[in-house]
A and B are shown apart, each in its own frame.
Chain A
Amino acid sequence: MTRKTNMDGMESAPRWIFTFLGGYLIVHLFVLYVWNAAGQVFSIQGTSDGTSALSVTAMAGVDLWLCLVVLRSFPAGAPLRTSWMLIALAAGARVAAGVLAQIEQIRLAAPIAGGPVRLAFLAAAMLGVLRILRQFGFWARPSATDWAVSGIVCLFTLCRFAEAGAASLAGRPIGLEDWISLAGLPILCVLFLEAMLLRRAVLRMGNGLVTKGWLALVCGILLTGAGEVALWVIPRDSQTLPLGLFGALIRLPVAAAFALVPAYQVAAQRRAIKPAGDQPEDLATVVPALAR
């Protein structure tokens, strides 16, 4: 009665993403371990930045492609089409950021596309998703924990703005990249609150294939926030830790989490339209009886 493990086709896209992410994390953690064991005598900053950027852009490319596949399955006027379009635009913004970062003349456009623009697309997409979930009765009030988690991000945003304000008052120049990063933080606060609401709705639904996709979106947003906080805290805590490697360890899981959103959706759609002969025999009739 168990479903055959199949790594072929788009139905197994989530599995491929997890496999790639697992391999990537193992390699990076191994490098970090060797670097630490060797007494931190060699630099691992430069190489990790390059491979990380390439991996993240490639993962964003996969995300965009899967989003376009999903988008094709929602005709004009479908309730979730706008949300999927915005999610696809967010993925496109991440790809654009990865490409723009490699072009010296317009490098500054990269953090704009990959930061505030992408986050704004995601925030708008999530509003649509939450509205539809509410229509179907999957709405739940946020708990104290949800408020607390959102509060932490809001506090972090305030700290970043206070820091920028203090630097400005002291006459220290603030770089354009810092301003761009600051511009994205209020959107991140909104996104976090939306992510908490989506998490509650997902908990009300269960762990089906469609639900897993929305859970991946929540994870992606939580990891984005956690990464922002970690990359702000780590340099204050330790000057010796390789920030580039930590950044790589954070950025790819974030990109993978966002890629899992359309990947699970595609997996669910492929499972639905699979010919009857490919479905497990009599599963629809036997399993409910057994499960209940």
Chain B
Amino acid sequence: MHPRRATLLAFCDGEAGADRSRRIAKHLSKCKKCHGQLRRIHGEKEELSAGSAAPPMDGRQDLAGVLSAMAAWREDRAGEAASELRNRLQWQIETYFGFPAVSVVERPGIRAEELLGKASEILDVFLGPNAAQAVTEDVFRGLDWAVPAGESCR
């Protein structure tokens, strides 16, 4: 699967993380299309940093491009966080109730925030509010999570 433009941008800026960078570099060594796109990004970056006279562009189009790249990058991060949150919730349900309980609580296609709600409810009822809150805090520890509108679990 080809990395998104936002991912390539992050890779270019050295903000993609070690594992991801390694995967992207591996992909780039095989994929001419992505390699070309990376070169274009490099070029654009150099042009911007050098302040060279870029071909005149429509300001609105440029802004729309930046905004869409930002949205794509944010979407990518939110998807990862949702997947991580789901994994952590599954693990907590498995620890306190058991593996089959995960399939009862987690319906197919359930959104991360719905799963969070159901898991919190069941933990609250069976463990008590204090313990349930502690588990929820543990789930969110170190997780960059903000409920994305319309985001569903993968």
Residues of A in contact with B (beta carbons under 8 Å apart): 70, 73-75, 78-80, 132, 136-138, 203-211, 268-269, 271-274, 276, 279, 283-285, 287-289, 291
Contacts and interface: CB of A to CB of B under 8 A. Distances in A.
Given A74-B128, A269-B128, A273-B131, A284 B139 contact: yes
Contacts of A74: 128
Contacts of A204: 100-101, 104
A206 B87 contact: no
Contacts, number: 97
Contact of A208 (B84, B97, B130): B97
Nearest to A209: B96
What are the 6 A-B residue pairs with the smallest beta carbon separation, nearest first? Answer: A206-B98, A272-B131, A73-B128, A208-B97, A208-B98, A273-B134
A206 B101 contact: yes
Nearest to A71: B128
Given A136-B122, A276-B138, A210 B127 contact: yes
A285 B97 contact: no
A204 B131 CA distance: 23
B127 A268 contact: yes
Contacts of A284: 87-88, 91-92, 138-139
Q: Majority SS of interface residues in chain A?
A: helix
A26 B120 CA distance: 43
Contact of A138 (B91, B104, B138): B104
12 contacts: A78-B129, A132-B125, A136-B105, A204-B101, A204-B104, A205-B104, A208-B98, A269-B130, A272-B123, A273-B131, A287-B91, A288-B90
B97 A205 contact: yes
Interface residues of B, number: 32
Contact of B130 (A79, A271, A273): A273
A206 B99 contact: yes
Interface in B4-26: none
A80 B122 CA distance: 11
Given A206-B94, A269-B131, A78 B125 contact: yes
A192 B95 CA distance: 28
Contacts of B84: 285
Contact of A211 (B98, B125, B135): B98
Contacts of B99: 206
Contacts of B100: 203-206
A80 B95 CA distance: 20
Contacts of B129: 75, 78
Contacts of B122: 136
A130 to B, nearest CB: 13
Most chain A CB inside 10 Å of its own CB: which residue of B105, B127, B134? B127
Contacts of A289: 87
Most chain B CB inside 10 Å of its own CB: which residue of A79, A283, A288? A288
A289 B122 CA distance: 23
A206 B95 CA distance: 10
B97 A80 contact: no
A207 B98 contact: yes
B96 A268 contact: yes
Contact of B96 (A137, A138, A208): A208
B141 interface: yes
A203 B37 CA distance: 54
Most chain A CB inside 10 Å of its own CB: which residue of B88, B93, B105, B125? B125
Nearest to B136: A272
A30 B12 CA distance: 74
Contacts of A209: 95-96
B88 A288 contact: yes
B132 interface: yes
